[in-house]
Chain A
Amino acid sequence: MSRVCGPLARFVIVGLLAVCVSAAPAAAQNVIKLGNLVDLTGPTSDQGKDIAQGRTDAVQWVNEHGGVNGKKLELVSVEYGFQPPRAVAAYKKFVEEDKVLLVLGYGTPDTEALRPYITKDKIPYISGSYSGHLTDPRQTPYNFPGGIDYTSQIRIFFNYVKETWKDGSRNPRVAFIYADNAYGRAPIESGRAYAKEIGVDLVDEEIIPTVLTDATSQLLTMKKKDPDFAYINTNTQWVPVVLKDSYKLGLKTKYVVNNYGLDERTPGLAGPAAEGVIGIQDVAYWGDNVPGMKTLMEFHQKHHGSDTHASPYMRGWLCVIVAAEAIKRAGNAPTGESVKNALESLKEFDTWGITPPFTYTNEDHRPTNRARLVMIQNSKIVPMREVTVDRSMKWIGK
């Protein structure tokens, strides 16, 4: 009896204690709670770690600097392992138990799964997913992608192709290489349409699995179509596999990678295979010369100086900066609706220079139409130029 009941009793006691601790009433009315959904154990945990760290740090920073309208922010953080059902469960807790004002969301499948709930509960939702499907306020009034949407990015790619293409005898040939998941597929449909519209021949689409170790067969198939450019839409840890295999096969295709596929770690991961690869940069890289970086660096140095960070860390800060500004604008008694309206009032809002200025309106939730093209040269990321796409309403919500 005691052999079993001992550990069991201990477990029960620990569990009860835990529940009691968590049930302890929140300190005061002077706290604004934000839901924070991140993946630290699933397939995107690579980005998740720094995003979580960035959000935590940013909230701490905001609180150290007087909070928002005199109130402190509090993150209610949940790790969901990139599983949509767990995200839904976490969301229900955010809304019902924690009464959060706003949710800092995460990936594409879970954000799309939560769409109906968010709209019903009127909870502003700033997501790490920049899926174009979330940009149309008529359908998703409370979704705010926290960066330039994937559809705009793929259009940037096509514009770049069009601009650099000098051979008048034929149209440039392009291919898509994308991950077999909601994130990878998000901009593909729009990409096909845009290719047709601007006269670029989309000759091939290669689908790669989410978890990738070898892309040779896909690249060999692509090679038959001989594209001049290819757009890679997957995550940072798998893009190097594509690049390395392409390097091995000696392909001449020019690669452009979306914002989540290439960051300051890519040269280290892909080595010489990364040379000449172009990335679409949505946030500042660690150590970039932008106004807010000094604050970030100082905070990092003070609290956890020994570790290193990459662009997801800046994305973490970004979400909180935007959220804090909106809450500030919503006044002393912010509600979901007033925060949403405040977000939609952001006009050319300076995100400490971490991103191009953000503008949400009640007709268009694309935060920006600007990004930067970067190229990897001599194992370093070299900025090329700022690019802008038009905010044509044709692509909204797609």
Chain B
Amino acid sequence: MKCGGFRVSYRADERIFDTALPIVGLVALLAVLCVIPRYATTYWLDVLNRIGIAIIGALGLNILIGYTGQISIGHAAFLAVGAYSTAILEVNVGLPFYLAIPLAAVITSVFGLIFGIPSLRLRGLYLAIATLAAHFITTFVIVHWESTTKGVLGLMVPPATVFGLPLDSDARVFYLIFALAVPAIFFTKNLFRTKVGRAFIAIRDRDVAASVMGVNLLHYKLLAFVISSFYAGVAGGLMAHHSRILFPDSFTLLVAIDYLAMIIIGGLGSILGSIFGAVFMTVLPEVLKLTATSLTGVYPQAFGLIASTRDVVFGLAVIFFLMYEPQGLARIWVRFRSYWQLWPYSY
């Protein structure tokens, strides 16, 4: 069993996997993913689908915040642009989904580019506030551009079709979502093994220093916004196909806060963290819901009380992680793993 990083060649240093075991694990995981839709109920598939979408969205946000250090509270707006562009391209233009989703992602990237321009002058909380404003402006446009977005009445999205097979059930959308989520994870992993990814990290750690070292801030900051919003565009496109009806209410500020919570709880600047965070923030409400439902089976009168604990639990979870485990679930996982790797000689 390995217990450290001892590498003697550049090749070894560049490897994603040090040993064969994780590869076997991954293949097994992928195999499990392939057969899950046969066995899971629609409800749990729905949860898994939302996890898959959240993973893509959280990866995008983590690239921007966790890796590049540009704070954005406007992620819900990015998702909304992706979702609405996908829907509009399919409904009004008549594109098939495999063209609509990438195109929508490109549109979202352009949108992200515009969003990102303030980041050239502002940073930290000023950027956060600017993106907050952008969120409200985007919502305004969606609500009031009724001829195209159908405003508050909701925009119906037809199911995507693959070779004449409509993706109209959770089981079928599942494959679409994970067919995009898995490559998204690998793309992100590789991104941070390239020049671009390292430039992002340099900017996060100290942008002036990065600039001195020859990182073109203008270029890379905007690129971070573009890549991040591309992910959000894809996630939004999948949301359009998953829920098949879009409302401005589906993209409130709460959604943006949920995504922020994902990457905080999962782990800033960590791919595994994005995944953990997406799982945690999607499953937590479900667990609370199940608890509430089962408890109200026993005490029906307490439903109101139990249901409103959601806000408290969410808030406490965020506070708990920020205070006691700022590097999130990813860090807990690493500790857990190294403990067992060295067991029984762990320290």
The chain A residues found within 8 Å of chain B, CB to CB, are 1, 3-5, 7-8, 15, 18-19, 21-22, 24, 38, 40-41, 49, 52-53, 56, 59-60, 74-79, 81-86, 88-90, 92-93, 95-98, 109, 112-113, 116, 180-182, 184-185, 303-304
**Chain A residues closer than 8 Å to B50, beta-carbon distance:** 89
Q: Is the CB of B245 within 8 A of A22?
A: no
**Chain A residues closer than 8 Å to B288, beta-carbon distance:** 18
**Chain A residues closer than 8 Å to B296, beta-carbon distance:** 56, 75, 77
- A185 to B324, alpha carbons, bound, how many Å? 47
- A355 to B291, alpha carbons, bound, how many Å? 35
Contact with A along B84-116 (1 / 0, CB 8 A): 000000000000000000000000000000000
Contact with A along B209-253 (1 / 0, CB 8 A): 000000000000000000000000000000100011101011010
Q: Is the CB of A85 within 8 A of B250?
A: yes
Q: Is the CB of B143 within 8 A of A84?
A: no
**A21 shortest CB reach to chain B, Å:** 5
- The interface stretch among B3-11, B38-46, B119-127, B195-203 is B38-46
Contact with A along B119-151 (1 / 0, CB 8 A): 000000000000000000000000100000001
Closest chain A residue, CB of each to CB of B311 = A41
**A354 shortest CB reach to chain B, Å:** 21
Closest chain A residue, CB of each to CB of B302 = A56
A78 partner, pick from B293, B308, B325, beta carbons under 8 A: B293
Q: Is the CB of B152 within 8 A of A109?
A: yes
Other A-B pairs, 12, CB within 8 Å; known A41-B307, A41-B310, A52-B303:
A5-B336, A21-B291, A22-B290, A76-B293, A77-B293, A78-B293, A79-B289, A85-B250, A89-B50, A98-B293, A116-B245, A180-B152
Q: Is the CB of A79 within 8 A of B43?
A: no
**Chain B residues closer than 8 Å to A97, beta-carbon distance:** 41, 43
- A88 to B53, alpha carbons, bound, how many Å? 15
Q: Is the CB of A59 within 8 A of B289?
A: no
- State whether the Cβ of B154 lies closer than 8 Å to any Cβ in chain A: yes
- A24 to B41, alpha carbons, bound, how many Å? 17
B249 partner, pick from A60, A82, A96, A304, beta carbons under 8 A: A82
Q: Is the CB of B250 within 8 A of A84?
A: yes
Classify the interface of chain A: helix, strand, loop or mixed. Answer: helix
- State whether the Cβ of B297 lies closer than 8 Å to any Cβ in chain A: yes
Q: Is the CB of A185 within 8 A of B335?
A: no
Closest chain B residue, CB of each to CB of A97 = B43
- A53 to B297, alpha carbons, bound, how many Å? 14
- A60 to B298, alpha carbons, bound, how many Å? 12
- A96 to B304, alpha carbons, bound, how many Å? 24
Q: Is the CB of A182 within 8 A of B310?
A: no
**Chain B residues closer than 8 Å to A18, beta-carbon distance:** 287-288, 290-291, 294
Q: Is the CB of B320 within 8 A of A7?
A: yes
Residue of A93, A182, A185, A304 with most partner-chain B CB within 10 A: A93
Q: Is the CB of A304 within 8 A of B301?
A: yes
Q: Is the CB of A95 within 8 A of B42?
A: yes
**A152 shortest CB reach to chain B, Å:** 19
Q: Is the CB of A92 within 8 A of B42?
A: yes
Closest chain A residue, CB of each to CB of B305 = A40
**B124 shortest CB reach to chain A, Å:** 29
**Chain A residues closer than 8 Å to B23, beta-carbon distance:** none
**Given A4-B324, A52-B303, A79-B307, A96 and B41 contact (CB-CB distance below 8 Å):** yes
**Given A1-B339, A4-B335, A77-B296, A19 and B243 contact (CB-CB distance below 8 Å):** no
- A52 to B300, alpha carbons, bound, how many Å? 10
**Chain A residues closer than 8 Å to B143, beta-carbon distance:** 180
Q: Is the CB of B247 within 8 A of A7?
A: no
The chain B residues found within 8 Å of chain A, CB to CB, are 41-43, 46-47, 50, 143, 151-154, 156, 170, 239, 243-245, 247, 249-250, 252, 254, 285-297, 300-301, 303-304, 307-308, 310-311, 320, 324-325, 332, 335-336, 339
- A303 to B308, alpha carbons, bound, how many Å? 21
**Chain A residues closer than 8 Å to B335, beta-carbon distance:** 1, 4
- A41 to B285, alpha carbons, bound, how many Å? 14
- A86 to B288, alpha carbons, bound, how many Å? 13
**Given A83-B252, A92-B170, A96-B42, A182 and B154 contact (CB-CB distance below 8 Å):** yes
Q: Is the CB of A113 within 8 A of B154?
A: yes
- A4 to B293, alpha carbons, bound, how many Å? 29
Closest chain B residue, CB of each to CB of A18 = B291
Closest chain B residue, CB of each to CB of A16 = B287
- A185 to B120, alpha carbons, bound, how many Å? 40
Q: Is the CB of B300 within 8 A of A89?
A: no
**Given A22-B290, A77-B293, A7 and B324 contact (CB-CB distance below 8 Å):** yes
- A92 to B50, alpha carbons, bound, how many Å? 13
B308 partner, pick from A4, A41, A75, A98, beta carbons under 8 A: A41
Closest chain B residue, CB of each to CB of A53 = B304
Closest chain B residue, CB of each to CB of A50 = B304
- A304 to B292, alpha carbons, bound, how many Å? 20
**B261 shortest CB reach to chain A, Å:** 15
**Chain B residues closer than 8 Å to A38, beta-carbon distance:** 307
**A16 shortest CB reach to chain B, Å:** 9
- A63 to B283, alpha carbons, bound, how many Å? 33
**Chain B residues closer than 8 Å to A59, beta-carbon distance:** 300
Closest chain B residue, CB of each to CB of A94 = B43
Q: Is the CB of B247 within 8 A of A182?
A: yes
**A185 shortest CB reach to chain B, Å:** 6
B152 partner, pick from A85, A89, A98, A185, beta carbons under 8 A: A185
- A88 to B151, alpha carbons, bound, how many Å? 19
A-B pairs with beta carbons under 8 Å apart, 28 shown = A4-B325, A21-B295, A22-B291, A40-B304, A41-B307, A49-B304, A56-B303, A77-B296, A78-B293, A78-B307, A83-B250, A83-B254, A84-B247, A84-B250, A85-B243, A86-B285, A89-B47, A90-B289, A92-B43, A92-B170, A95-B43, A96-B43, A97-B41, A109-B152, A116-B156, A116-B244, A181-B152, A185-B152
